[in-house]
């Protein structure tokens, strides 16, 4: 598989939330294709459905209509367990908050997805050490997340998202909680780390800083996706 091959394709994806009074259609017929190795920023106002779209892409949530195919595999038709395994193997997540598992050390947090993916202990440890040194946080491996600054935590989160070399990294407002300097650090990581493994990054954001790093920008508006270039 080469850069530019479609990794994930959406055709006529709908998402309707059954609200108390009436149904709320958040996504109304999304058609899009995300390609290997590209960094796509999804821009949109708060509540425009960015997070929902990311959840659908990551198989955390299911669409109300339409189809999502990952490398040709329809993930919206997978059962809960298979979707979990899909996420475990192919997707990395970076959230705005609560990224790290508070009961695990930084080292263990990075080990987490590798461990879940059954990477053998020695290789996994080497990978974690490598990631830590890339981040310049080798000395913090035994710390618990709550001992780290927000920027450090988020950098670890990015590292964890790519640790198992997934095909797709989904980032939901990855810098929403950070000051400007730190934001730059995290963005740099988010651009650099996936690239090594040709990982597709899809970041939902309303930050122009994030958008400026993107290979491609799409707008989510009124439940539909418009390519900014078109």
Partner 1 sequence: MILARVSMRNLLRHPWQSILSVVGIALGVAVVIAIDLTNESARRAFSLSNQMVAGQATHHIIGGPTGLDETLYRDLRVDHGIRGMWPLVAGWVRLPDNDDQRFSVIGVDPFAQTSHSAIHRSTRDLSPTELLSVNNAVLLAQDTVRRLGLTVPGELRVRGAGDLHRLRVTASVQPDSALEGQALRAIVITDIATAQVITGNIGRLTRIDLELDDPAAVAKIRGLLPPDAELASSASRGNALQQMTRAFEVNLTALSLLALVVGMFLIYNTMTVSVLHELFTSVTCEALTLGVLGVLAGIGLGIVLSYQLLELVAQTINDLYFRLDVKQVSISALSLAKGIALGIGATVVAALAPALEASRVPPQITYTRSGQETAARRSVGRLARFAIVPCVVAAALLLLPGGSLYAGFAGLFFAIFGFALLAPALLLLIVRITHPWLSRALGLVGRMAGRGVTESLSRTRVTVAALAIAVSATVGVGIMITSFRTTVEHWLVNYLRADLYVSASGSTTGVDPGLIRRVSQLPGVRSITTARWTKLDGAEGRTQLFVLDAQSKAFENFQFKHGDAASAWPRFKTGDAVIVSEPYAYHHRRGVGDTVILRTDRGAREFDIAGVFYDYGSDRGVVAMHRDTYRRHWSDPAISSFAVYLDANIDVDRFAETLQHGVLKPTDLTLRSNRQLRALSMEIFDRTFAITNVLRVLTMVIAVIGIFSALMSIQLERGREFAVLRANGFTPRQLWALVTTETGLLGLAAGVLALPLGLFLALALIFIINRRSFGWTMQVWLTPEHFVLGLTLAVAAGLVAGIYPALRLARTPPSFALRHE
**Structural contact between residues 221 and 47, judged by C-beta atoms closer than 8 angstroms:** no
Q: Pick from 71, 84, 138, 184 the residue near partner 1 by CB under 8 A.
A: 84
Q: Pick from 116, 148, 211, 213 the residue near partner 1 by CB under 8 A.
A: 116
Q: Does 146 bind partner 1 (CB under 8 A)?
A: yes
Q: Does 117 bind partner 1 (CB under 8 A)?
A: yes
CB-wise, 41 or 54, nearer to partner 1?
A: 54
Q: Pick from 24, 74, 98, 123 the residue near partner 1 by CB under 8 A.
A: 98
| Mask for 25-64, x = binds partner 1 (CB under 8 A) | --------------------------xx--x--x-xx---
The vertex-156 CA angle with 152 and 158, nearest 5°, equals 120
Residues contributing to the site for partner 1 (CB under 8 A): 51-52, 55, 58, 60-61, 80-81, 84-85, 87-89, 92-93, 95-104, 108, 111-113, 115-117, 146, 160
């Amino acid at each position: 598989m080469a850069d530019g091959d479609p990794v994930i394709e959406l055709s006529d994806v709908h998402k309707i939330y059954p609200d108390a009074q009436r149904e709320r259609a958040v996504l109304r017929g999304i058609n899009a294709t995300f390609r290997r190795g590209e960094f796509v920023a999804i821009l949109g106002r708060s509540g425009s459905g960015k997070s929902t779209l990311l959840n659908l892409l990551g198989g955390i949530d299911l669409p109300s209509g339409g189809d999502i195919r990952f490398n040709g595999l329809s993930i919206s038709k997978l059962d809960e367990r298979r979707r979990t395994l899909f996420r475990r193997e192919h997707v990395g997540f970076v959230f705005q908050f609560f990224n790290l598992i508070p009961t695990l050390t930084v080292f263990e947090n990075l080990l987490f997805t590798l461990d879940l993916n059954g990477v053998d202990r020695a290789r996994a440890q080497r990978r974690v050490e490598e990631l830590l040194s890339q981040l310049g946080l080798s000395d913090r491996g035994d710390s618990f997340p709550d001992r780290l600054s927000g920027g450090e935590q988020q950098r670890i989160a990015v590292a964890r998202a790519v640790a198992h070399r997934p095909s797709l990294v989904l980032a939901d407002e990855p810098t929403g909680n950070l000051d400007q300097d730190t934001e730059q650090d995290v963005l740099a990581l988010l651009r650099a780390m996936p690239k090594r493994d040709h990982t597709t990054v899809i970041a939902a954001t309303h930050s122009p800083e994030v958008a400026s790093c993107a290979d491609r920008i799409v707008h989510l508006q009124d439940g539909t996706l418009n390519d900014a270039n078109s």
